[in-house]
Chain A
Amino acid sequence: MSEMMNKDTEKSSKEINEVEIFVSKSLRFGVLVSGAVILLGLVLFLSSGEGGYPGDSYPTRLRDIFAGAFDMKPFGIILAGLVLLICTPIMRVGISALVFIKEKDWLYVGISTVVFFILVSGFFFGK
């Protein structure tokens, strides 16, 4: 009896592990990429002493930030990295929702979707 239960928990924990390893890997990827981009921008700024924008100014709109990053402007690169960093938790919520769909856990598909939409609407309120 206890052996059967053990097998059951082993099986379910293995499934959860696969999913969690995927979430963990994508999160690590997001963190490494954003960290590397921010570091690149910071090193460029410190070595040249210039942010690439007049005076102490820097872009505050997404389009301007990414345009600046593609022009290799240090402040543009840093801010693009920060935007990527800001996206990692949002990505995590999105992935969790996909995981709940895969597990057919509709209650939590609903909960994650609600949370996701509240968050996305928050991001656009700022415009």
Chain B
Amino acid sequence: MTIVAIKILLVSISAGVLGSILGLGGGIIVTPALTLLFGVDIQHAIGASLISVIATSSGAAVAYIKDGITNIRVGMFLEIATTVGAITGALIAGLISPNLLYIIFGLLLLYSALAMLKKTKEELPEEVPLHNVAKTLKLQGEYYDKALKKNVSYKVDNVYSGFGVMYGAGIISGLLGIGSGSFKVMAMDVFMKLPLKVSSATSNFMMGVTGAASAGIYLYRGDISPIISAPVAIGVLIGATIGAKIMQRMKSKTIRKLFIPVLMYVAIQMMAQGLGVKL
């Protein structure tokens, strides 16, 4: 038992590192690892992955806040879209075929992966106009970039499309029960043209908040098993703390190169699921 717990702990550390760097919460590693490597049933794996998302968010946040990488205003504003989306998703479950949604959102992710490919040479977004709504909402911001060793101030564009994609991301998580961190990063990076580090950190902030909101339901249902979730929580907390420190010193270009293949993998997996193909 102790050996298994240590193994889960080690996998969770790597999940925390990757999740905090990319803004994906870590569920993307924890769920398949628990089901495939440790034979955990999907229900308890999802419960543990929810814990992993929250642990990534809070563990990484401690390091991010000091340098102002997380944009709380952007996060709070978009959180309205995701929470209302999540409720919509829960309400329309059963009315709409999830397969169609899988395909639509898979295509959207693929599109954004391609859009990101064009940005691989770009360290920071250039000449972004300040959207009128962004100005009213004071969404623009500034952070200290440890890789570039300078303060980076940035503007925010396309608030409506970003908000729309976030609403979609909320529906997806309400309907399919996934964290949808990839959609959050995409909405901020591709649509609203925020710097990648800000998008990733803010996505983690938001995922923690959304995750915490639904965690009560999972807890009451008994999906959060103490034996599995304890090593996951501790491992991810350690991993996210390390990952957040690494991320601050990484160039955005490098983070993007890690992000694109993960995005493509998720896109293809979603479309395959929608088409009923087992990968």
Residue in A closest to B83 when the chains form the complex, CB atoms: A118
- How far, in angstroms, from A1 to B65 measured CA to CA in the complex? 30
User: Chain B interface secondary structure, helix, strand, loop or mixed?
Assistant: helix
Q: Cβ of A38: which chain B residues have Cβ within 8 Å of it?
A: 230, 233-234
Asked if residues B65 and A24 are in contact (CB atoms below 8 Å), the reply is yes
Mark contacts of B206-249 with chain A using CB atoms, 8 A cut-off: 1 yes-contact digit, 0 otherwise: 00110111111111111011110111011001000000000000
Asked if residues A30 and B65 are in contact (CB atoms below 8 Å), the reply is no
| Count, chain A residues at interface, CB 8 A | 55
- How far, in angstroms, from A28 to B57 measured CA to CA in the complex? 12
Which size class do B's interface residues fall under? Answer: 35 or more
Residue A98 is within 8 A (CB to CB) of chain B in the complex: no
Asked if residues B211 and A89 are in contact (CB atoms below 8 Å), the reply is yes
Asked if residues A28 and B233 are in contact (CB atoms below 8 Å), the reply is no
> Which of A27, A34, A85 is within 8 Å of B65, CB to CB?
A27
- How far, in angstroms, from A54 to B163 measured CA to CA in the complex? 48
> Which of B62, B211, B231 is within 8 Å of A42, CB to CB?
B231
Q: Which B residues are closer than 8 A to A by beta carbons?
A: 1-2, 5, 51, 54-55, 57-59, 61-62, 65-66, 68, 72-73, 76-77, 79-80, 83-84, 87, 137-138, 142, 205, 208-209, 211-222, 224-227, 229-231, 233-234, 237
Instruction: Known pairs A75-B226, A126-B218; list 11 more (Cβ under 8 Å).
Output: A21-B65, A27-B62, A28-B62, A46-B1, A58-B225, A61-B220, A79-B224, A79-B226, A82-B51, A82-B226, A126-B216
